Structure 1
Amino acid sequence: MSERKQILLRLDPAVHDALVRWAADELRSTTAQIEFLLRQSLNNAGRMPKQVGGLPRRGRPRKQADTSENAATEGDGSDDSGSNEHEP
């Protein structure tokens, strides 16, 4: 993926506040919300370039899946069953 472009954006404080609240409602950063809205507008206007990449995934990157059956519980002391054998 190519490097993401950085821009300086000047906004009316009331518009910025509204974007911050909307982004929080959507569980996005303000920057991600602005990009989402720009992409949505480009799509609606029929101006989205064909070669544009997808939006970056939100949140922490996923761990690589381990192919062994017992990888989740062997060696790390974790118990995914939700029960605790040591409590009375």
Structure 2
Amino acid sequence: MAKKESSIKSFVLRVDSETMEAIEQWAADEFRSTNGQLQWIINEALRKSGRLKKTRKERVTDDEKD
């Protein structure tokens, strides 16, 4: 089965030094890169707000709760 190709877009993000230090520390605590941590934070926020489609795993988990 062929993998679905996803496109990754780059952009510049400006954050103050205090915020960046907090993100870097959080990333280190979670054994992630700073970029990976930012992607995770954004993904979690989008998922929790209902702005991302649920993955198959999330749908199955939700169905099990019913």
TM-score (norm 2): 0.70
RMSD of aligned Cα (Å)? 1.7
Output aligned runs, 1:1-88, within 5 Å. Answer: 1-48=5-52, 50=53
Q: CA deviation at 1:4?
A: 1.1
| Unmatched 5+ stretches in structure 1 | 53-88
Q: Choose between structure 1 and 2: higher helix proportion.
A: 2
Question: Percent identical across equivalent pairs?
Answer: 38
Count how many residue pairs are aligned between Structure 1 and Structure 2.
51
Indicate the structure (1 or 2) with the bigger Cα radius of gyration: 1
TM-score (norm 1): 0.54
| Unmatched 5+ stretches in structure 2 | 56-66
